Amino acid sequence: MKRLTIYIILLILAAPSCTERVDLTLDETYARLVVDGGISNDTGSYRISLTRSADYFYNEPTPRVVSAEVSISDGSITYPLRETEPGKSGLYETDSTFAGRIGETYSLNIDLDQAVDNQTHYSSSCRMMQVARLDSVQVSFQPDWGPEGIWEIKVFAQEPGDEVNYYMFHYYRNDTLMTDTIWKINISDDKYFNGSYIKGLTAVYINNENKWEAFKPGDKVTLQMSGITKEYYDFISQVQISGFNIPFFTGPPANVQGNINNGGIGFFTAYSNSWASTVVK
């Protein structure tokens, strides 16, 4: 028994010596233009963000693409965008009176001051789809779902039904956007309610364990329901799937497909909105 104890102690002492530091050397990749932004049918200023892709272990903020000429066109009128901080921000903004029209196809054109991946011109296009008009929304609590319950935001609206439609949902609590990253966006198609009245479909689930997101009596809850293209629906799906792979160290099943030409990555989208609010009782 004493000999066995000595062997165990020696094994424990020897275990740390089996750990070896491994330094990974990853190949540097070429830079690509990254485009993020879109427009809707609501009047307001819309931003297009331009950055360069960076290596995995790049320890600085993502490089901004500045001093570009950016515009949006509906085929007859061209709307120039201005850089919010000329030569610094890489954020390009429409006039505050801009509003898109449902059914129109909008083109984004980008001309760079300096080439990215040997390209100075990039473009994209997206059609602004229709959206179901919200009649109302309802907030309910399911105490038996999960350790501390689940909140639901339910939709009441007439679905158009003339074609396959795809929807995106954002929600606000007391006028603060809660779905502030692409990982939190909820999306759906109309496979099971095409052309029907949507009576209490759950569009958003909120876990009550996260106290910052959970609702309290008196909170104002606003739902933004947006009509999007199938391409943007697929883009969001691919991005969200790529962030939740199992095993955790696997990559996405394929490259995420955006709609930027000449090797650019990201997405320029056009979408239509319908809004409804309620107060948590």
Q: Write the pLDDT tens digit of every residue in 89-138.
A: 999 999 999 999 999 999 999 999 999 999 999 999 999 999 999 999 99
Please say if the pLDDT value at position 14 is more than 80: no
CA dihedral 127, 119, 89, 183 (to 10 degrees): 50
Q: How many CA atoms within 13 Å lie on the side-chain side of 80?
A: 6
Q: What is the pLDDT of residue 55?
A: 64
Fold matches, 33-127 and 133-257+271-279: yes
CA proximity to 137, closest of 162, 165, 164, 170: 170
Q: What is the pLDDT of residue 210?
A: 77
In sign, the C-alpha dihedral spanning 213, 217, 219, 224 is: positive
Per the CB < 8 A criterion, the answer to whether 54 and 31 are in contact is yes
* Domain range annotation of the chain: 33-127, 133-257+271-279
Q: What is the pLDDT of residue 10?
A: 47
Mean pLDDT, the chain, whole residue set: 86
* Best CATH choice for the domain 33-127 from the list 3.30.1490, 2.60.40, 1.10.287, 3.30.300: 2.60.40
Of residues 4 and 271, more confidence is placed in 271
Tokens of 152: 């639901």
Confidence of residue 201 (pLDDT cuts 50, 70, 90): very high
Please say if the pLDDT value at position 239 is more than 70: yes
Share of the chain above pLDDT 90, in %: 68
The fold of 133-257+271-279 is Immunoglobulin-like (2.60.40)
Of residues 228 and 207, more confidence is placed in 228
Per the CB < 8 A criterion, the answer to whether 173 and 210 are in contact is no
Q: What is the pLDDT of residue 21?
A: 56
For 134-168, what is each residue's pLDDT tens digit? 999 999 999 888 788 899 999 999 988 778 899 99
Per the CB < 8 A criterion, the answer to whether 52 and 266 are in contact is no
Weakest-pLDDT range from 79-83, 182-186, 207-211, 244-248: 244-248
